[in-house]
């Protein structure tokens, strides 16, 4: 198997040959950053990964918390079966449940404590002739408005949403935050190389306020393209080196 057909982490391997959207830094960041300290004690917590792709984020969250049950919704059939294979070959397969659905049509039988998404983000940009790649990377079918509206219908009272988005989507998200009276619990701006402006941000939203909302930044690489101490600390349980 070619090395770009899979990505090996410390406790599981992601096979990705059938997926248009390969393992990338954004997914790893969100899977490591999302807060799994829930405000209400429960025997089991329920999470949902929207646009699960390979299943990377769902598996990372399942690794991080042993009483977290993760649904993983994916619209693309090839990606869904890849996600299914990855979960079956992981140590956490009994707690990750891939679902072949468009998110807009998904009707769960539970409310969620956490909904995460590394959503498609190339709005109105030039499209590839590859349909599968378009589905994975453009948000024509799943806008931020739809993502937030549908997610809020599925959250329990103490539930929250965690996203990673390009900075150019911040204004669109701010409109939804204001319109739906959401609170920002955490926001981390992501700087790819030190000295540059942020290109991504991770954000956690809920209907309830935090006594201590957190706003910070994370730089991934030094000027010599080595991982920063902060990035290494965040991902230490996942990357092999």
Cβ atoms 152, 34 nearer than 8 A: no
CA–CA separation, 171 vs 180, rounded Å?
A: 14
Predicted confidence at residue 18, as pLDDT, reads 86
For 95, list phi and psi in degrees, rounded to 5. Answer: -125, 10
d(CA 47, CA 69): 6
CA distance 123 to 128: 13
Query: What is the per-residue pLDDT across 133-147, written as a single tens digit (0 to 9) for each?
Result: 444 333 446 899 999
Tokens for 21, please give them: 């959207």
Q: Give the whole-angstrom CA distance, residue 81 versus residue 13.
A: 15
Return the H-helix or E-strand segment holding 136: helix 131-137
C-alpha distance from residue 21 to each of 25, 118, 136 (Å): 12, 11, 6
pLDDT of residue 4: 82
How big is the CA angle at 121 (ends 162 and 54), to the nearest 5 degrees? 70
In angstroms, the first-to-last Cα distance of the chain is 21
Question: What's the pLDDT tens digit per position in 92-148?
Answer: 999 999 999 999 999 999 999 999 999 875 433 334 444 444 443 334 468 999 999
pLDDT band at 189 (very low <50, low <70, confident <90, very high): very high
- Crossing angle of helices 25-33/56-64, nearest 10°? 30
Beta carbons within 10 angstroms of residue 16's beta carbon? 22
């Amino acid at each position: 198997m070619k090395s770009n057909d899979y990505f090996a982490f410390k406790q599981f391997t992601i096979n990705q040959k059938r997926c248009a959207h390969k393992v990338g830094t954004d997914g790893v960041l969100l899977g490591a950053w999302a807060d799994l300290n829930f405000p209400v004690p429960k025997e089991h917590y329920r999470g949902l990964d929207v646009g699960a792709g390979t299943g990377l984020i769902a598996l990372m969250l399942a690794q991080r918390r042993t009483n977290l049950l993760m649904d993983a919704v994916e619209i693309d059939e090839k990606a869904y079966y890849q996600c299914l294979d990855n979960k079956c070959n992981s140590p956490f397969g009994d707690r990750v449940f891939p679902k072949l659905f468009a998110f807009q049509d998904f009707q769960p039988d539970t409310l969620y404590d956490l909904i995460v998404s590394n959503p498609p983000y190339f709005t109105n940009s030039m499209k590839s002739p590859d349909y599968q790649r378009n589905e994975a990377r453009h948000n024509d079918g799943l806008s931020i408005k739809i993502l937030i509206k549908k997610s809020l219908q599925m959250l329990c009272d103490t539930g929250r949403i965690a996203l990673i988005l390009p900075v150019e989507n911040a204004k669109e998200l701010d409109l939804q935050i204001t319109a739906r009276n959401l609170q920002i619990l955490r926001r981390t701006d992501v700087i790819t190389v030190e000295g540059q402006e942020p290109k991504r941000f991770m954000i956690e939203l809920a209907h309830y306020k935090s006594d201590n909302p957190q706003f910070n930044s994370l730089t991934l690489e030094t000027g010599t393209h080595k991982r920063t101490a902060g990035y290494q600390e965040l991902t230490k349980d996942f990357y092999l080196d």
